Structure 1
Amino acid sequence: MNTEVLLLALIIVAVLLAAVLAWASWRAADQSPEKLRLLLEQNLAANRAEAETTRIILAAMEGRLAAAIQSGTTEALSKAFEQINTAVQA
């Protein structure tokens, strides 16, 4: 009888543990799409900010390059290309 009670207690504990784990898994799966959506929105905002910064830098470089071409100086062209390379690599 003692063994039967112990076995029954172990079975009850195992069932309760399985129920708790199933509930935790269900809850995590339920929240995953929301977490993923928030992560994607953060990444999208960061990408937009980076794209805007790159656009501003390239627009400034374009102006400098146009000025260098108009002035016809080789040194100014070299600087402009170095700045463009630096902006692209950053």
Structure 2
Amino acid sequence: MKFDDDLSIIHSYLCADGYFIKNPPKQKKKYYYIGFRNTNLILLKDFQKRFKRYFRISPRLREGERCTVQNKKIYEGLTKSFGSFYSYW
């Protein structure tokens, strides 16, 4: 992954209010979610715009709630490149 302005801001959003969900190992149906939760529509739209520009996939936007993407390749790329997106204080 090439680190540029869009990816650095996507990374910041995910560290602040993001989440990653993967199915339990024993479950047959596989899923990979990347999400950003926020009530501020400006931030949600900015995340959506930057994510689409960088990954060429548009996250689903639920106004006042979140943006979500289901994509195994992006999920694995982000978690392998950056590990955890949690802030440790």
What is the TM-score when the length of structure 2 is the normalising length?
A: 0.27
Q: Which has the higher helix share?
A: 1
Greater RCO (CA < 8 Å, at least 6 residues apart):
2
Larger Rg: 1
What is the TM-score when the length of structure 1 is the normalising length?
A: 0.27
Q: Which has the higher strand share?
A: 2
